[in-house]
C-alpha cells in the first residue's frame, strides 16, 4: 500500500466490523468506527463531518505523512468533505460504490426488492406508492421501515448467490454494526444540506469503483456526478455489488505502493 489508509464506512451509522473481520492482515488500514450522535443532538451530520476531520488530522500527525482515503457508500460524502477542508493531508482517494444521494439510493433498493425479489413485498410496494405521492420525510421513513424487515434486503448488497448476504444479515444485528436511530438522525440532517457536485481542491489521484450489480446507483450517472467533484477521477466497474472491497481481494481496490 502506498500510504497508511483511513477507511470511512457507509450507513450512515454503520460500523467497520466487517472490514476488520475480513482483513486482519492490513495493519496500515485504520478501520474507523464513526461516532454515533447522542439523542437530541442538533446537527448530527455536521458533527460527523467534524469528527472525520479530527480523525484525519490525528492519523496524519501520527504517521507523519498524507493518508489514503478509502470510502464506501455514504463514506464518500465524508471523504469529499475532507478533500475540501484538508486536501494537503490526503495522498489519494478510492471511493468504493460511492453514494451521495442517499435517499434516492435506498429508494432504488426498495424498488429492486419489489420488482425482483422472490418474496412478495406488498407492504413495501404500498409504502413506495405512498412516498411517490407525498414526497416527504415521513413517507420516506415509512418506506424505509417497510424495507428493513424484508428477508431479501441483505442479498441486495451482494452479488447474486453470494454467501456473504447471510453473514451481512448477522452482522447488521450487532449493535456496533448499525444504529437505526443514529442513521435516521444523520440522514435527516444531511438532507437539509446534502453534498453538491462541485469541484473540491484536491488534485491527487482519485479512483471510483462501482459494483456492476449494485442496486443503489447507476454507475454511468454516478461516475458523471462524482467527476464534477473530482474531474481527474478514473472510474471502473467490477464484479461486485455494494461492497467491492469485501467481494474482491485488496489487490483490486487498494492502491499499490
pLDDT over threshold 70, residue 108:
yes
Q: Which residue, among 143, 220, 141, has the nearest Cα to 187 in the 3D structure?
A: 141
Specify the DSSP class assigned to residue 97.
S
- CATH number of the domain located at residue range(s) 5-100+191-252 in this protein: 3.40.50.1820
Using alpha carbons only, give the angle 132, 168, 254 rounded to the nearest 5 degrees: 100
Which DSSP category does 171 fall into?
Answer: H
- DSSP H helical segments within the chain, as ranges? 17-22, 44-63, 75-85, 102-116, 122-134, 137-147, 164-172, 180-192, 219-229, 244-247
pLDDT digits 0-9 by tens, 189-225: 999 999 999 999 999 999 999 999 999 999 999 999 9
Q: How far apart are CA 242 and CA 250, in angstroms?
A: 15
Q: What is the pLDDT of residue 80?
A: 99
In this predicted structure, the answer to whether residue 228 has a pLDDT above a threshold of 90 is yes
State the average pLDDT for the chain: 96
Contact 109, 42 (CB under 8 A): no
- Report pLDDT for 204: 98
| Measured CA distances, 236 to 20, 23, 151, 209 (Å) | 25, 23, 30, 5
Length of the chain measured in residues: 257
Please give the Cα distance from 130 to 83 (Å, whole number): 38
> Cα separation of 13 and 105, whole Å?
16
What is residue 28's predicted lDDT score, i.e. its pLDDT? 93
- What secondary structure letter does DSSP report for 118? S
Q: What is the residue extent of each domain of the chain?
A: 5-100+191-252, 103-176
Residue 257's pLDDT is 66
Question: pTM score, two decimals?
Answer: 0.96
CB proximity list for 257: less than 8 A, separation 6 or greater: 1, 2
Residues 119-148, mean pLDDT to the nearest whole number: 97
Give the H or E element holding residue 7.
Answer: strand 5-8
pLDDT higher than 60, residue 2: yes
Work out the burial of residue 250: count CB atoms within 10 Å of its CB; fewer than 13 is exposed, 13-18 middle, 19 or more buried. Answer: middle
With cut-offs at 50, 70 and 90, classify the pLDDT of residue 175: confident
Burial 170-208 (b: 16+ CB within 10 A, else e): ebbeeeebbbeebbbbbbebbeeeebeeeebebebbbbb
Beta bridge partner(s), residue 235 = 208
Overall average pLDDT of the 152-169 stretch: 94
Q: 74 with 11: CB under 8 angstroms? A: yes
Give the tens place of pLDDT for each residue, 52-107.
999 999 999 999 999 999 999 999 999 999 999 999 999 999 999 999 999 999 99
User: What integer is the mean pLDDT of 102-124?
Assistant: 96
Amino acid at each position: 500500500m502506498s500510504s497508511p489508509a483511513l477507511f470511512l464506512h457507509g450507513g450512515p451509522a454503520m460500523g467497520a466490523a466487517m472490514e476488520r473481520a475480513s482483513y486482519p492482515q492490513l495493519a496500515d488500514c485504520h478501520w474507523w468506527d464513526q461516532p454515533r450522535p447522542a439523542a437530541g443532538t442538533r446537527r448530527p451530520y455536521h458533527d460527523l463531518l467534524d469528527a472525520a476531520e479530527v480523525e484525519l488530522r490525528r492519523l496524519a500527525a501520527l504517521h507523519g505523512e498524507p493518508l489514503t482515503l478509502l470510502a464506501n457508500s455514504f463514506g464518500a460524502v465524508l471523504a469529499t468533505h475532507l478533500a475540501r477542508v484538508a486536501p494537503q493531508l490526503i495522498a489519494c482517494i478510492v471511493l468504493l460504490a460511492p453514494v451521495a444521494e442517499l435517499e434516492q439510493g435506498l429508494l432504488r433498493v426498495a424498488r429492486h426488492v419489489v420488482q425482483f425479489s422472490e418474496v412478495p413485498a406488498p407492504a413495501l410496494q404500498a409504502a413506495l406508492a405512498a412516498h411517490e405521492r407525498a414526497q416527504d420525510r415521513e413517507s420516506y421513513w415509512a418506506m424505509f421501515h417497510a424495507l428493513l424487515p424484508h428477508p431479501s434486503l441483505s442479498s441486495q448488497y451482494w452479488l447474486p448467490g453470494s454467501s456473504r448476504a447471510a453473514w451481512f444479515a448477522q452482522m447488521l444485528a450487532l449493535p456496533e454494526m448499525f444504529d437505526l436511530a443514529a442513521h435516521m438522525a444523520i440522514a435527516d440532517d444531511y438532507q437539509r444540506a446534502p453534498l453538491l457536485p462541485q469541484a473540491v481542491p484536491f488534485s491527487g489521484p482519485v479512483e471510483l469503483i462501482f459494483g456492476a450489480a449494485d442496486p443503489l446507483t447507476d454507475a454511468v450517472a454516478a461516475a458523471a456526478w462524482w467527476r464534477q467533484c473530482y474531474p481527474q477521477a478514473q472510474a471502473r466497474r467490477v464484479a461486485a455489488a455494494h461492497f467491492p472491497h469485501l467481494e474482491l481481494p485488496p489487490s483490486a481496490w487498494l492502491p499499490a505502493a
